[in-house]
Amino acid sequence: MKLNLPRPISAATSAFAAFTFDVRFPYIINQIKDNNPLQPSQRAALGNLIREIAEGTVPDDREICYPEDLAYWEAFFAEHAGKRYADVPFFDAEAYIYYRIIHVVDFKNTGLDPFYRVKTDSLKHHRDFVEAVAAKHLQQPLVFSIDYFKTLLHATLWGNSADLSQLEANDALVDPTLRNNLIIDDSAELCRLVGSAAGRQVDFITDNAGLELLSDLFLIDYLLATGQVSHINLHLKAYPTFVSDAIPSDVASHLEMLQGFQSEQLSAFIDRLESHRSSGKLQLLSHPFWNSPCHFTKLPPAIMQGFGEDTILLFKGDANYRRLFEDREWPYATPIEGMLDYLGHPCFSIRTLKSEIVIGLNEDAVRQLDEIDKNWVTNGKYGLIQGNPIYF
173 pLDDT band (50/70/90 cuts)? low
Q: What is the pLDDT of residue 4?
A: 81
Q: Taking residues 50-66, what's their average pLDDT? A: 96
CB atoms within 10 A of CB 269: 24
| Residues 213-246 pLDDT 10s | 999 999 999 999 999 999 999 999 999 999 999 9
Cβ-based neighbours of 34, under 8 Å, separated by 6 or more: none
E runs forming strands in 279-352:
282-287, 312-316, 347-352
Contact 73, 62 (CB under 8 A): yes
Average pLDDT, the chain: 94
What is the pLDDT at residue 125? 85
Nearest-10 Cα torsion for 192, 193, 197, 200:
-150
Over residues 4-41, the pLDDT tens digits come to 899 999 999 999 999 999 999 999 999 999 999 999 99
| 166 band by pLDDT with thresholds 50, 70 and 90 | low
CB 313 within 8 A of CB 302: no
Mean pLDDT (whole number) for 331-347: 97
Predicted pLDDT at 162: 62
Average confidence (pLDDT) over 77-99: 98
The pLDDT assigned to 215 comes to 95
**Structure confidence at residue 197 (pLDDT):** 80
CATH superfamily, domain 116-391, is Uncharacterised protein PF01937, DUF89, domain 3 (3.40.50.10880)
* pLDDT beyond 60 at 54: yes
**Is it the case that residue 179 has pLDDT exceeding 90?**
no
Range with the poorest average pLDDT among 126-130, 162-166, 300-304: 162-166
pLDDT tens-digit profile of 137-152?
999 999 999 999 999 9
pLDDT at 163: 57
Contacts of 195 (CB under 8 A, 6+ apart): 144, 146, 149, 228
Outline where 12-126 has alpha helix (H).
15-19, 25-35, 40-55, 70-80, 90-105, 107-110, 116-125
Domain ranges of the chain: 15-110, 116-391
Nearest one of 234, 223, 219, 222 to 199, comparing CA atoms = 223
CA distances from 202 to 194, 216, 224, 282, 323 (A): 9, 12, 10, 10, 19
Distance CA 379, CA 370 (A): 13
